[in-house]
Amino acid sequence: MEKTLDCVVCGSCLVDIYVRPLPLDKPIGVGTLHAVEPIEVTTGGLVCNSGIAMARLGMRVAAFSWLGDDDWATLIRKRCREEGVDTNYLLTHAECPTGATAVLVDTTREHGFAYYEGAWARMDRRVFLDNLDLFAQSRMALLGYYSLLPNLDRDLPEVLSAIRETGCRVALDTAGSGGSLEPLDRSLEHLDFYIPSYDEARSQTGETDPEKMVAVYRACGARGLLGIKLGSKGALLSPSTGEFIPLAAVPPPGPLVDTTGAGDSFFAGLLSGLLRGLSVEEAGRLAAAAGACCVTGVGPSAGLRNFEETAALAGLDI
């Protein structure tokens, strides 16, 4: 089938409601009133965060998830369409509302969260296998988050294998604590790209050294591009066994406002660079620049920039 899409981003899809500043070092208190800045609603979750980032970088992106039959779903579809993301596969769940997170931010930019997972967390083996035609149209798929999809984690090997059989390469992202190595260990051989954060990888592997973390994944059968996101220290990429490419962090092109979604933006930049034919190192630099742009705005999308601006920030001569 002709590849009319660059990437299908699937899984976590919800709204984020920002309340700031709100002190997080003491109880909010019953019956108390806190004066805050204007409360903002943004899109959130991997589907919106990485999907919008990839669209800003010039990729042809489709969103695949479940939403409720409610106003939050209308807002998500509208904003994704405005960003050029195909929303035809944002499906309506008959029973479960759209997910939402209240993001509570204090004066030091630390976060607390009140979270309702919503419809997207109901995604299971059947909804993926019933929509393999979508993946057949795409060069790549990005799925997340591992450890937060209780109806899918056990079936991940089968689902990932089926997606790859359509000729679509597969990337997996993770979130939260990162979960454990099982059942991830059975899925790694079916992945083309897997790059968790340091804390997620530590939870999964029990290791504290990034190279040893990667070695654990390799021992489980991972053959694709691996890496560890290291936050302000950059990242470490491993294209093959024993090969490591350290990446320095890129300074943000403005004041640090909010770190939400920076990891999703990193992944979006990396995949976009590889889809454009950049080397792993060049794509990694684009990824670091995309993450740096993200932290300059409230929420995961406000600070994102187009490909030319992001590539210039990365120091790429393109």
Q: How confident is the model at residue 2 (pLDDT cuts 50, 70, 90)?
A: confident
Omega of the bond leading into 183 within 30 degrees of 0 (cis): yes
3-state secondary structure of 64: strand
pLDDT at 1 exceeding the cut of 80 = no
Note the pTM of the prediction, 2 decimals: 0.95
pLDDT at 177 exceeding the cut of 90 = no
Q: Pairing between strand 61-67 and 245-247?
A: unpaired
Q: Which domain holds residue 60?
A: 7-23+37-313
Residue listed under structure tokens 């992202």: 173
Q: Confirm whether 180 is domain-assigned.
A: yes
Q: Which of 237, 4, 30, 266 is nearest to 135 (CA)?
A: 4
pLDDT at 65 exceeding the cut of 90 = yes
Domain count for the chain, please give it: 1
Give the E-state strand segments of the chain in sequence order.
7-11, 14-19, 40-44, 61-67, 86-92, 99-105, 111-116, 140-146, 169-174, 193-194, 225-229, 235-238, 245-247
Q: How confident is the model at residue 293 (pLDDT cuts 50, 70, 90)?
A: very high
Q: Confirm whether 30 is domain-assigned.
A: no
Q: Confirm whether 223 is domain-assigned.
A: yes
Q: Confirm whether 185 is domain-assigned.
A: yes
Q: What is the CATH number of the domain that holds 158?
A: 3.40.1190.20
Nearest-angstrom CA–CA distance, 173 and 149: 12
Q: Confirm whether 32 is domain-assigned.
A: no
Q: Are 66 and 123 in contact (CB under 8 A)?
A: yes
